[in-house]
Amino acid sequence: MQEVVFDKRVQQLVNSLVSSGVKDLVPLYDTAYGYRYPFVEELLGLGPIETANLLEELAEKGVFRKSLYLRYVICPRCKSPDVAPLFKCQHCGSLGLRRRILTESKEGRIAEVGEEEEPFITQKGLRVVGMWFLCENCKKMSDEPNYAFLCRECGEEFTLREALLRDAYRYTLNEEFADILKESLMLYAPIRELLEERGFIVEAPGMLMGSSGVSHRFDFIAYRYKGGDRKVYALDVASRDAPIEEAEVISLFVKVFDVKPDKAILVAVPGATDRALKLAQSYGIEVVLGKDIEEAIKKLGEAIP
Ligand SMILES: [Zn+2]
Ligand SMILES: [Zn+2]
């Protein structure tokens, strides 16, 4: 089982996305931080940078698919994302450019109109056949203006070549992960509850140091104190489409052999092969079988007095 499933923040975030039917986390623009994820920030009580780091981490772990949403411009001097585009005359650099539009009527009459006429072009049944920019300053025409940027924060003016560019990402929920999470929450939450009811202190997942000096991870480690006596149970859960095979038993045995808990339990849904069961018996691993989650929990209750 992936550890990320046990992360409370992940559970909260994925549950909230699934229940609201939202699959995409699309960043929103903010003049101070650039693009950020207010939905996630509010839900988890995190700041914008922590949130971005968390989403990055969850994309690496397969919870989200990450794709480029856009690249945006940052001021090279003060690093502010609050940047305005500038359109300049190709000839004199003036900002006083006006669009000029060439129109054609149904009868084939060609006419040049200014920006102020634009709202009426379709209304009058005219067709746009050309466009250029006229400079108020030098009176020359430009096909395309030159582009530049103005930082609203510090007033720096810069070109695209000088600009800093930053990436903003869209995070799309990996449906496969949402299913895994849903299933495991259905199984893991009741197991934890059961263990706690029986007086155990539960770590899920839990790490135990073996005699080899290696730490091993179990889905659950449960401690129970009676008098001065401490009992340690190690549990792994295997929930698949098909019965659990020997490999599952062997991988648990390798850890159990090193750690030597008082009891090792493998919870197997929807069951286990005969060979896997025999192997478990010879290894001293107790296998709790359930054809479904409900039955597995009931059987686990019987296995843990
Ligand atoms: Zn600036
Ligand atoms: Zn000009």
Instruction: Give the residue extent of every domain in the chain.
Output: 3-73, 90-144, 178-303
275's CB contacts (< 8 A; 6+ apart) are 245, 246
Cα 102 to middle of ligand 2, angstroms: 20
Is the sign of the CA dihedral 60, 65, 71, 75 positive or negative?
negative
Cα 33 to middle of ligand 1, angstroms: 13
Ligand nearest to the CA of 80: 1
CA distance 98 to 221: 72
Cα 158 to middle of ligand 1, angstroms: 10
Cα 80 to middle of ligand 1, angstroms: 5
Cα 149 to middle of ligand 2, angstroms: 18
Per the structure block, which two tokens stand in for 199? 């007086």
Q: What is the pLDDT of residue 21?
A: 83
Helix or strand holding residue 192 (H, E):
helix 175-197
The count of other CB atoms within 10 Å of the CB of residue 47 is 11
Cα 156 to middle of ligand 1, angstroms: 5
The count of other CB atoms within 10 Å of the CB of residue 97 is 20
Q: How far is CA 11 from CA 40, 141, 242, in A?
A: 12, 59, 26
CA distance 248 to 130: 71
CB 104 within 8 A of CB 112: no
Cα 151 to middle of ligand 1, angstroms: 5
Ligand nearest to the CA of 153: 1
Cα 31 to middle of ligand 1, angstroms: 12
CB 99 within 8 A of CB 121: no
Residue found by looking up tokens 């001065």 in the block: 228
Cα 150 to middle of ligand 2, angstroms: 19
Cα 92 to middle of ligand 2, angstroms: 4
Report the relative pairing of strands 229-239 and 263-269 from DSSP bridges.
parallel
Ligand nearest to the CA of 75: 1
CA distance 225 to 211: 22
Which CATH fold would you assign to the domain 178-303?
A: Trna Endonuclease; Chain: A, domain 1 (3.40.1350)
Q: What is the pLDDT of residue 122?
A: 85
CB 241 within 8 A of CB 259: no
Q: What is the pLDDT of residue 184?
A: 73
Query: 237: left (phi > 0), else alpha (psi -120 to 50), else beta?
Result: beta
Q: What is the pLDDT of residue 2?
A: 58
CA distance 163 to 226: 67
Cα 144 to middle of ligand 2, angstroms: 12
In terms of DSSP H, where are the helices of 198-261? 246-259
Cα 169 to middle of ligand 1, angstroms: 23
Give, for all 305 residues of the chain, the pLDDT tens digit. Answer: 456 776 778 888 888 888 788 889 999 999 999 999 999 999 999 999 999 999 999 999 999 999 999 999 999 999 999 999 999 999 999 999 999 999 999 999 999 999 888 888 888 889 999 999 999 999 999 999 999 999 999 999 999 999 999 999 999 999 888 887 777 777 888 898 899 999 999 988 788 999 999 999 898 999 999 888 899 999 998 877 788 899 989 999 999 999 999 999 999 988 999 999 999 999 999 999 998 888 999 999 999 88
Rounded to 5°, the CA angle 81-66-19 comes to 105
Cα 121 to middle of ligand 1, angstroms: 39
pLDDT in tens, 101-121: 999 999 999 999 998 888 888
Cα 195 to middle of ligand 1, angstroms: 58
> Closest Cα partner for 45 from 33, 56, 54?
54
What would you report as the CA-atom Rg of the chain, rounded to the nearest whole angstrom?
32
Q: What is the pLDDT of residue 1?
A: 45
The residue count of the chain comes to 305
